[in-house]
Structure 1
Amino acid sequence: MIALFWVVLLSGIVANASAASNSTGVSPQAAQITVFTRHGWIVDFYPDGRVHAQWGSLPGDGASVPEGTVRFDALLAAIRRLRAETKTGYGTQVAVLGVGETSTTAFYVSNDTLFRYLIASFSGKWKQDAGGTRFHELLKTHPIYPDENK
């Protein structure tokens, strides 16, 4: 119960970029955070607060939410606290690309509830990539995080 409280609190802090005093959200420590879900989605978070989700590799099968949507520095701090040393049952993996780096290694997180809340908060904010038409259809047929209660 306490863990769920912290996850909900952290997701509110991360998603509430408009309340952030650091309007750019730029972190000198990381250039990109990539989340790999067990359902085939790749979700990239950027220091300017925008997020891009892509299913598969076809151009146009992705979409983004605008700059300032996520507090990158808060997300980075939360991810560091959630890092698991061994594989977890969630299947969510995260890679943090450092500034000036060209490669990274993904790691598991101990709990993926933060990402579930963040993705849910982007509902209605996704803007289809140029030239694409399938993103919203893919969200319906292959949700980033399916409702496991169904």
Structure 2
Amino acid sequence: MCEDYWRDVHGFMFARVAGLWQYRQLRLDANRPDLWPAVQGLSFDGPGVAQPQGIPHGLFLSEADLAAFGNHPLPKEAIPNDARNFIGRIGALLSPATRGRTLIDRINDPALQGPPPMPAFVLCFVPRTHASPEEFHRYLIEHVAHP
């Protein structure tokens, strides 16, 4: 029921706001700590209540489009208020212009690509301490991400 509402009502409201170029809803399965190699100081276990079940993914072609979207009454008021009807937490992350990259397919061919040839994973990292975002990012790069 909750996923139906997110897909059929809330998602459509979000996707129709001016400025948004593309909107996707990514459904997530339960955490699988057995998939990852051990990393000292890093736990792959997480309580079920803390695990995301889905991620909304909005893409914008320009800073102006993002500003138009952010200033519209739907994402400012109606969408956050509506989301409280069916989820317990909402998180948002904007990638800084110098860190995030989006590759845009401009061939305008909406042909479906079918299911992905292999599973996809979303990794969510939460610091145990009150580290600054810069310290936490540096830790991930130096101790978790491998070349």
Structure number with the higher strand fraction is 1
TM-score calculated relative to the size of structure 2: 0.26
Structure number with the higher helix fraction is 2
The structure with the largest alpha-carbon Rg is 2
TM-score calculated relative to the size of structure 1: 0.26
